[in-house]
């Protein structure tokens, strides 16, 4: 069966990084013009902690691709119900930043399989924040599906949450899996993985005074997947 790709209404899925420093392309050299200041996306993206009924201890694994993308796989993110049911998972992410730059998650892709009994609909609510308070949200919806899916949730550019320049911080993401509606027979859904691609993050140049103090890679901590 084909793998449908669905998006949040009004959200574009980017094929390359968004750089918010005068709309500079991702491969551009910073304003200093020094070859040493050439910009590159984040590297070493990793999960440092996870929690929630959808991703208990021992149920999360992650793999890194040759392009520094991160695929986080779940074995417990599954629902079966005839009525409204919610299952959640929160991930904490860390990465090595480009020198003098900060970054934000712009979109997430969820992969899974579902058998939805009409009129039940699957909602995937995604939220991102730099502290425990998640400040950026997006929702995508699926219905009338019996098979696999790849579902994109893209965050509005004006509400992206960037890591603060010049200080240590982690990115927190939360996924809420919702079966909405009531049917005579149970619907089932399982999210098998979520994908993060640094080439599709948004990047912003730090102020010069802060960038000059930004040292070394960020260090992770907590229970890893």
Domain count, the chain: 1
103 within a domain of the structure (yes/no): yes
User: What is the structure's pLDDT at 210?
Assistant: 57
Residue 86: which pLDDT band, with cuts at 50, 70 and 90?
Answer: very high
Residue 47 lies in a domain: yes
CB 95 within 8 A of CB 218: yes
| Reported pTM | 0.75
Query: Is 222 a domain residue?
Result: no
Compute the average pLDDT of residues 167-194.
91
Task: Give the pLDDT confidence score for residue 135 in this predicted structure.
Answer: 84
Residue 66 lies in a domain: yes
State percent of the chain over pLDDT 70: 75
Please choose, from the candidates 77, 58, 69, 70, the residue with its C-alpha nearest in 3D space to the C-alpha of residue 175: 77
Cβ contact 3:133 at 8 Å: no
CA distance 144 to 171: 33
Cis omega (within 30 of 0) on the bond before 119?
yes
Q: Report the SS3 class of residue 43.
A: strand
Q: Is 221 within a domain?
A: no
The whole-angstrom separation of Cα 213 and Cα 225 is 31
Using the Cα atoms of residue 131, residue 135, residue 136 and residue 138 in order, give the sign of their dihedral.
Answer: positive
Of the given ranges (1-5, 120-124, 127-131, 181-185), which has the lowest mean pLDDT? 1-5
Does residue 224 lie in a domain region? no
Average pLDDT over residues 132-144: 86
Strands 5-6, 18-19: pairing kind? unpaired
If pLDDT is split at 50, 70 and 90, which confidence band does 21 have? very low
Residue 217 lies in a domain: no
35 phi and psi, to 5 degrees?
-60, -30
Q: Which tokens in the block code for residue 143?
A: 């219905």
Containing structural domain, residue 81: 5-207
- How do the residues of the chain divide into helix, strand and coil, expressed in percent and rounded to 5? 5, 45, 50
């Amino acid at each position: 069966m084909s793998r449908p790709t669905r998006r949040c209404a009004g959200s574009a899925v980017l094929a390359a990084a968004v750089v918010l420093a005068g709309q500079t392309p991702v491969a551009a050299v910073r304003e200093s013009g020094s070859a040493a200041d050439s910009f590159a996306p984040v590297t070493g993206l990793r999960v440092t902690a996870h929690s929630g009924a959808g991703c208990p201890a021992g149920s999360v694994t992650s793999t890194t691709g040759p392009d520094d993308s991160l695929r986080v796989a779940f074995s417990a993110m599954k629902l079966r119900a005839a009525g409204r049911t919610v299952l959640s998972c929160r991930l904490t992410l860390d990465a090595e930043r480009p020198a003098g730059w900060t970054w934000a998650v712009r979109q997430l892709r969820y992969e899974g399989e579902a058998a939805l009994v009409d009129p039940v609909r699957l909602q995937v609510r995604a939220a991102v924040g730099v502290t425990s308070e998640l400040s950026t949200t997006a929702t995508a919806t699926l219905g009338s599906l019996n098979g696999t899916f790849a579902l994109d949730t893209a965050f509005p550019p004006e509400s992206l949450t960037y890591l603060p320049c010049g200080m240590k911080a982690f990115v927190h993401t939360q996924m809420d899996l919702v079966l909405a509606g009531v049917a005579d027979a149970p619907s089932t859904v399982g999210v098998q993985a979520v994908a993060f691609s640094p080439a599709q993050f948004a990047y912003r140049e730090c102020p010069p005074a802060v960038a000059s103090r930004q040292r070394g890679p960020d260090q992770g901590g907590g229970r890893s997947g």
